[in-house]
Chains A and B, each alone.
Chain A
Amino acid sequence: MTEFEPKIVAFVCNWCTYAGADLTGTSRIKYAQNVKIIRFPCTGRIDFMLLLKAFGEGADGIIVSGCHPNDCHYTSGNFHARRRWIMFRGLLDLLGIDVRRIQYSWVSAAEGAKWADVVNTTVTAIRELGPYTDYAKVANYLEKEANV
């Protein structure tokens, strides 16, 4: 039996985590292939609807990562993002959308190793949780209807 390979989307900011992930590359630190990055200028730019859309399109897990507090390239985008995440997480949790499938992190441009670790631990965690069938069922309902 082949191991379940989760699909994970990473929403990261350009200045810290994207650069940190670049450093992971430059340092040749290996990590799992499951995570694919989408570059945003800042975590403040990340629309919560995009996260929801990712689950709708079949993501099993999501990473959201940006600059540490006080390190934001734009001084406060990450602070705004943090508030939004706090509220969003609470709402998703109430709705039974599995918040364990969204890993938030601060990874700076200097934390190449941390990025690899965030990716690997997230992949392991999602692998343990298995495919997000609960959500997929709801999402596929749409396809079923479209096929009729």
Chain B
Amino acid sequence: MSKIGVFICHCGENISATVNCGKVAEVAGKLEGVAYSTDYKYMCSDPGQTIIKQMIKEKGLDGVVVAACSPRMHEPTFRKACSEAGLNPYLCEMANLREHCSWVHDKSDATTQKAIDIVRTLVEKVKHNKPLSTIKVPVTKKALVIGGGIAGIQASLDIANAGHQVVLVEKEPSIGGHMSQLSETFPTLDCSQCILTPRMVEVAQHPNITLMTYAELEKLDGFIGNFKATIRKKAKSIDEKLCTGCGLCTTKCPTKKIPSEFNEGLGFRTAIYVPFPQAVPNKPVIDKLNCQYYLKGKCKVCEKVCPTGAIRFDQEDELVELEVGAVVVATGFNIMTTSEFPEYGYGKYPDVITGLQFERLASASGPTLGEIRRPSDGKIPEKIVFIACAGSRDPAKGKPYCSKICCMYTAKHAMLYQHKVHHGESYVFYMDIRAAGKNYDEFTRRAIVEDKVNYLRGRVSKVYEENGKLIVKGVDTLLNAKPVEIEVDMVVLASAGVANPGSEELAQKMHISYDAYNFFSEAHPKLKPVETNTAGIYLAGACQAPKDIPETVAAASGAAAKVAILFSQNELSREPVVAVVNRSAPPLYSTCVGCFMCATACPYSAIGEEEIKDRKGNVIKKVAKVNPGLCQGCGTCVAFCRSKSIDLDGYTNEQMYSEVMALLNE
């Protein structure tokens, strides 16, 4: 016979205004197995908690139901109180009388009856509760940062400066990301590379940071504090220890016409290459898909000219296993390409370019050394149109969201153009100017007022080529929707920021959630902006949604702080809500029959095999076994198990069954 205590909270008047708390306490007191029942104005207050603690001791309670607010609010409070009184905290349950009853119904007998039903249900649950103990897990104080753009760089430096080891993995041959491609940055117009490259060098030289470029995450297992990451280091075909970065190989390589990724296809690179002069590390890799030797088996010019003999054609991908305690995902974003715009020519007009391509044209290190020249014939465009919201805020193109950065960079582009082509004429077609940020609106105003950029409110319907000119068919919606046709030399699309290709697979590898646009989802949009739903994995920067540089850096530092907080502990405690496979007396040993449907359904790969042996050591059968460190307690396996051999602590079959029975049987 259980001895359960029921404690009804008035929550000031929040509950008692519509629920007759005294009546609930009275009825609860008569329930089978209830040894004590009372109501009180504020259960969560000190005196309230004292009542609970006293009664646990006085009545020798073996279960507690606190009928108050949502367990999402005060479950930890009351469990702690129980534990202080010597009762296992997991023998305490909360009945939600406030959010689920008093606040959503008017005062009536039916409301009080519902409160009674809820309490009765939880009393029945508690009768089947078992004492549980929190799970302790150690913390590996090493972080994995995925992505070496500004977000990954900032997060790595912050974590490293807090005194922890960091492994920074970047898929390209160099760190730097999109920020290294930018010409100048808004709203200060300071040179992007000038502020970024010192940070890149700092990463390379930091004693706490291990840099792995040309590498990708292959697999991530484990859980907070105890991840096991497998990194694929792609073969660079170079012995990095021998290579001095002299660059002779890149000047002699005969395959010179490969569109440069760094220059967004506006320039060329060789097959053995360093993406850009300031690259970190400044050592080349061989692009196997384009190298003559790999394609045709002949060439090896680089090998011949290399003064240190560092070329390794037989190098193979290497898989490295790392144990890390936390992961920061900083994989960044991408933008829509011109080919995704049917109405602007499907990418067939060379002088219709993206904003990122314009950055390369405007950059001093770019293919035109900073002169604005159009890709088709290298002429300086006399007239140029910038189209904002190209793809963004466009549900028909699958991107209903605002990409956030385009208004600012378009203003910057127009400004840079006016600064570089003084006699030029620039037009910006926009829908709204979204320049919320420190000194941002002033910046866009400057483009209009000082640099005489023509802003037209309206979207462009079509761009086509006619006699070497681009005809832009737009509209000025502020002029009674007057159709506007402008003949220009170049069109720049402020194309939407999108998730990186492959982010879906990456998210699945890491078991983190992602939104409908494949951006990674934060755990809470307001209060947990850098956490993911998987404990121990954090987000930094534009892999979450388009972000500008300051926002990205802030998020990166935020994620780094979260990692540092995690690493400040030696051990972590976890709720003991985990699945357990049953054990029974021989000859069954366990009713589990080893079909492993649970294992295939488990989102965390937390279910493995266990061999059950007899005394002589012969294997009798294989059954499922839950790794409590990996199990997150969803219970999906439990609902799959046909023989009810697996159960979930905290939400056992008996508990849930009794709740249903109690709820429906007054």
> Which residue numbers of A lie inside 8 Å of B, CB to CB?
5, 7, 9, 14, 18-19, 21-26, 28-31, 33, 36-42, 44-48, 50, 53-54, 57-59, 70-77, 80-81, 84, 116
Contact = CB atoms under 8 A, between A and B. Distances in A.
Interface stretch (B103-111, B370-378, B475-483): B103-111
A22 B604 CA distance: 28
A9 B656 contact: no
Interface string B515-551: 1100001000000000001100000000000000000
B664 A58 contact: yes
B99 A41 contact: no
B273 interface: no
B639 A46 contact: yes
B488 to A, nearest CB: 42
A39 B601 CA distance: 21
B104 A37 contact: no
B577 A75 contact: no
17 contacts: A22-B73, A22-B96, A22-B99, A25-B103, A26-B103, A28-B103, A33-B114, A37-B100, A38-B121, A41-B651, A44-B601, A45-B634, A58-B664, A70-B513, A74-B604, A74-B632, A81-B636
A84 B663 contact: no
A44 B18 CA distance: 34
A45 B71 CA distance: 19
Contacts of B118: 36-37
B72 interface: yes
A32 to B, nearest CB: 8
Given A18-B72, A80-B601, A25 B634 contact: no
Interface string B407-434: 0000000000000000000000000000
Contacts of A9: 660, 663-664
B661 interface: yes
8 tightest A-B CB contacts, nearest first? A25-B99, A45-B635, A44-B636, A74-B634, A57-B664, A25-B103, A42-B634, A22-B99
B648 A47 contact: no
Contacts of B101: 33
A30 B660 contact: no
Contact of B639 (A30, A45, A53, A58): A45
Interface string B114-131: 100110010000000000
A71 B665 contact: no
Interface string B642-666: 0000001011010011011101110
Contacts of B96: 22, 37
Given A36-B114, A41-B577, A28 B635 contact: no
Given A37-B118, A74-B632, A80-B636, 5 more contacts: A25-B70, A25-B98, A38-B663, A41-B650, A72-B513
B444 to A, nearest CB: 32
Contacts of B603: 74-77
Interface string B60-75: 0000000000111100
Contacts of A5: 110
A26 B98 CA distance: 9
B106 to A, nearest CB: 7
B121 A36 contact: yes
A47 B664 contact: no
Contacts of A30: 104-106
Given A30-B106, A36-B114, A44 B639 contact: yes
Contacts of A36: 114, 117-118, 121, 663
B99 A54 contact: no
B638 A47 contact: yes
B511 interface: yes
Contacts of B629: none
Contacts of A29: 104
A38 B660 contact: yes
Contact of A44 (B98, B110, B635): B635
B633 interface: yes
A37 B73 CA distance: 17
Nearest to A23: B99
Contacts of A21: 99-100
Nearest to B651: A41
A21 B533 CA distance: 20
B660 A57 contact: yes
Nearest to B98: A25
B398 to A, nearest CB: 15
A116 B104 contact: yes
A60 to B, nearest CB: 10
Nearest to A18: B72
Interface in B593-622: 601, 603-604
B42 interface: no
A54 B664 contact: yes
Nearest to B661: A57
Interface string B175-194: 00000000000000000000
B639 A48 contact: yes
A23 B69 CA distance: 12
B571 to A, nearest CB: 24
A36 to B, nearest CB: 5
A19 B70 CA distance: 9
A45 B114 contact: no
Contacts of B440: none
Contacts of B664: 7, 9, 54, 57-59
B455 interface: no
Given A37-B96, A73-B533, A50 B656 contact: yes
Contacts of B401: none
Interface string B486-521: 000000000000000000000000011111100001
